[in-house]
Homo-oligomer: A and B are copies of this chain.
Amino acid sequence: MKTENNLKRQKTTSTDKTLFKNFPMVPRVVFGAGCFSQLGDILLPMRKSSEAPFIFLVDDFFENENFMAKLPLMFNDEVIFISAEEEPKTAQVDVLVARIRERYSELPSGVIGIGGGTLLDLAKAVSILLNNKGLAKDYQGWDLVNKPALYHVGIPTISGTGAEVSRTTVLLGPEKKLGINSDFTTFDQVLLDPDFTKTVAKEQWFYTGMDCYIHCVESLTGTYLNAFSQSYGEMAMELCKEVFLGDIPAKESRDKLMMASWHGGMSIAYSQVGVAHAMSYGLSYLLGVKHGIGNCLVFQHLEEFYPEGVSLFNKMMARHDVILPKGVCAELTQNDFDVMVNISLSLEPLWENALGRDWKTIMTPERLQALYEKI
């Protein structure tokens, strides 16, 4: 199956416009257990005035006095705790932006996102919308943002999404789940402090880590791959294997999974994700399934596209006693399936990366629905 599949895939890079993408990298990064203590020193020179606050968007998991005491708050800085129970939404971004605009006479000095992919993506989107007119949904797509975002800082508290390094912020909109893909989306500063991941629950740790593992598989087997993305993808993949199949101390495991997430995000710089992400987006849009577990729910059924990847994934599941829910799509109507299939098939670059230029002849709506029905 793998060979047949490979035979059908034509290399797309030679004519692809993204071949020579001028990729924006995070221009500043701090790494190390405990490095969160540096945040105050980093923010100080970026304060525009005492009237221009920093807005901290923080996962409400951290809503306690102990955490608040560690935040380097000054002047009229504001902390907004946000639940990460649901995927981030365009309307949620619009509400946050309106609230911040109303409350302060000056534009904020910047936005700091502290949390998993949801909080990081919200921080990116809010910092863009604070400096650009209109609504978040207007910017879902590729390179639609006109003006730079406000200064924004990303501090991941769970490892795997790659949101800390990517040029996208993936949002559920009224019509689609799609990223604001823009050079202005990338964080100006990232703090990688693996100590934050000490308190992550095991299942969440696994699902989010698998987000990294799965986009490495998708990147490394994709038709867009070049030596740049390959080197990052292979490094992230090795780190994932050490973390999820090896036997290393807890601190080393936290350090390495945070680096895996970082490199995994870089790996899709020139490449793209593939079948699992394309399908997972449909699942999230219709059912609100969170991204990490959504990827896992899909990926387990993709052995025909990623035979080695799925085999290793099954080993990781077994090693950590993770059992995925079943019958997630059992009650869906034909209309529901149509919605998911349409959302998924609209993500053309993902399918082209996964299956080559002729992907439409390979992944028909019927075949895609049959895959969803297994979940």
Contact = CB atoms under 8 A, between A and B. Distances in A.
B28 A24 contact: yes
A235 B256 CA distance: 13
Contact of A263 (B231, B255, B260): B231
Contact of A235 (B19, B235, B255, B270): B235
A31 interface: yes
Given A227-B255, A231-B239, A29 B22 contact: yes
Contacts of A19: 32
A256 B194 CA distance: 30
A34 to B, nearest CB: 8
Contacts of A38: 20, 22
| Chain A: number of interface residues, binned into ranges | 35 or more
Interface in A13-46: 19-32, 34-35, 37-38, 42
Contacts of A263: 231, 235
Given A227-B256, A231-B263, A235-B234, A35 B20 contact: yes
Contact of A21 (B21, B24, B30, B270): B30
Interface in A72-116: none
Contacts of A260: 231
Contact of A29 (B25, B192, B234): B25
A258 interface: yes
7 closest Cβ pairs, A-B complex: A227-B255, A31-B228, A27-B27, A235-B235, A231-B259, A20-B35, A20-B38
Interface of A: 19-32, 34-35, 37-38, 42, 189, 192, 194, 226-228, 231-232, 234-235, 238-239, 252, 255-256, 258-260, 263, 270
Given A26-B27, A227-B259, 19 more contacts: A20-B38, A21-B30, A22-B30, A23-B29, A23-B30, A23-B31, A24-B27, A24-B28, A25-B25, A27-B27, A31-B226, A31-B270, A32-B226, A192-B228, A226-B255, A227-B252, A227-B258, A231-B235, A231-B239
